[in-house]
Amino acid sequence: MSRRGSEGEALFRPVTSDLSIEERDYFSLCFYDKEEGIRHWLYNDKKILKQLKNLPWEFSFEVKFYPTTPTTIVDDHARYYVFLQLTALLLLR
């Protein structure tokens, strides 16, 4: 578990490890400022506490970069999670 003074990588690495994702570059954790309705990406090289300020520690795992050609994703797990998010986005429309 991450400590409050940890950088984003301390939270992102165990998530991608638990999901068996090797190609991590397509993904990121994000958090929402519900009052302003804004999504923020959690930067792995910055302290979590400074990024969240006074927001709750609630994160979602999302695709940050979509490949132009899905076949460029070699990792089956990464491809699966990209597919899941694309499917969810299409169903929300």
What pLDDT tens digit does each residue of the chain (93 aa) get? 556 689 999 999 999 999 999 999 999 999 999 888 899 999 999 999 999 988 888 999 999 999 888 789 999 999 999 999 989 888 876
The structural domains of the chain, with segments of one domain joined by +, span 9-92
Residues in Cβ contact with 24 at an 8 Å cutoff, skipping those fewer than 6 apart? 12, 16, 78
38 φ/ψ angles, rounded to the nearest 5 degrees: -115, 135
Say if residue 82 is exposed, middle or buried (CB neighbours under 10 Å; 0-12, 13-18, 19+): buried
Pick among 3.10.20.90, 3.30.930.10, 3.30.70.980, 3.50.50.60: CATH of 9-92: 3.10.20.90
Instruction: State the pLDDT at residue 3.
Output: 67
**71 in Cβ contact with 25 (< 8 Å):** no
